[in-house]
Amino acid sequence: MQREIDAAQIMNAEPDWTRRVYGRQPFAGAGKTNSGFLVPLERRLTAFVLPRIPRWLETYHLTLLTPVWSVLIVVFGYLAASDLRWLWLTNLMIVLHYFTDHFDGKLGKYRDTGLRKWGFYMDHLFDYGFLCSILIGYSFLIPPNSVFSMMLVLCVFSAFMFHTFLMLAATDEFRVSFSRFGPTELRIALIVINGFIIKFGTRGLRGALPWVACGGVIALTVLAYIAQRKLWQVDMKAKAEAETSSELTHS
């Protein structure tokens, strides 16, 4: 039976809890670096919610709910083509995804479930599906001649995910935020965008897509430049250290 610490224990032993959830992990992909604006508030929320999650609800249950939210987002996007107010339910799915996605890995570490690599793989596979579902939902709201722009947006956002995984492989650091903008801030932006669409219609969505794709390409180019420069410096430092070590060995 999985071990669960009650609310009183977590308050009395917070350093151990924070180290287990937020500290360095045996598998680098299980530990995220997030510098988003809302991280301090999220940590307070996590400290309150984690000990109160029912015993029967496990980390893998939360992870496996993401496909449910994704399918419903596509359904509500389809229905929004005839009545934009269905986007309010899309917003609800985004909020539910926030809770399941935010707490699945943390619950696993909190209870020491041990599903680090399974969680890493399934969580991010489903996250990509969730991203696709958002854009598929929007595709029902735009004319056919704007679908190409939507595909460009999907390509750009996918490239951000690839960048994150490539940097994880190269540096053993899993950074999920870009500057002060992380997954939570992105969800809030989507909720606000849906609110504007409900209020003002889809014309702005159609016009914004090319600009979103263009802005994403520029941001990705900057990220790639910074990343390659950092990795170049890491490689040169490692080479210099290896040459110094070799010289000392032969001297």
> Where in the chain are the domains?
7-250
Confidence (pTM):
0.85
**What secondary structure letter does DSSP report for 25?**
-
Tell me the average pLDDT across 84-96: 97
Is residue 65 a contact partner of residue 125, using CB atoms and an 8 Å limit?
no
List, in order, residues 6 or more apart from 62 with CB less than 8 Å away. Answer: 100, 101, 103, 104, 107
Instruction: Tell me the pLDDT tens digit for each residue of 123-182.
Output: 999 999 999 999 999 999 999 888 899 999 999 999 999 999 999 889 888 888 887 788
Contact 172, 236 (CB under 8 A): no
- 248: pLDDT strictly greater than 80: no
Quick one: pLDDT at residue 65? Answer: 97
| Start-end of H helices in the chain | 7-12, 14-22, 39-49, 59-63, 66-80, 87-110, 116-139, 147-171, 183-200, 203-250
* pLDDT of 97: 97
> Residue range 229-239: average pLDDT?
93
Question: For all residues of the chain together, what is the average pLDDT?
Answer: 87
More confident residue, 31 or 230: 230
So what's the pLDDT on residue 2? 36
Query: What burial class does residue 174 get, using C-beta atoms within 10 Å of its C-beta: 0-12 exposed, 13-18 middle, 19+ buried?
Result: buried
- Residue 98 makes CB contacts below 8 A (sequence gap 6+) with 184, 187
CATH fold label, 7-250: Four Helix Bundle (Hemerythrin (Met), subunit A) (1.20.120)
Residue-wise pLDDT for 23-55, tens only, equals 677 666 667 777 888 888 988 998 899 889 999
Q: Of 71, 215, 222, which is closest to residue 152 (Cα–Cα)?
A: 215
pLDDT score of 32: 77
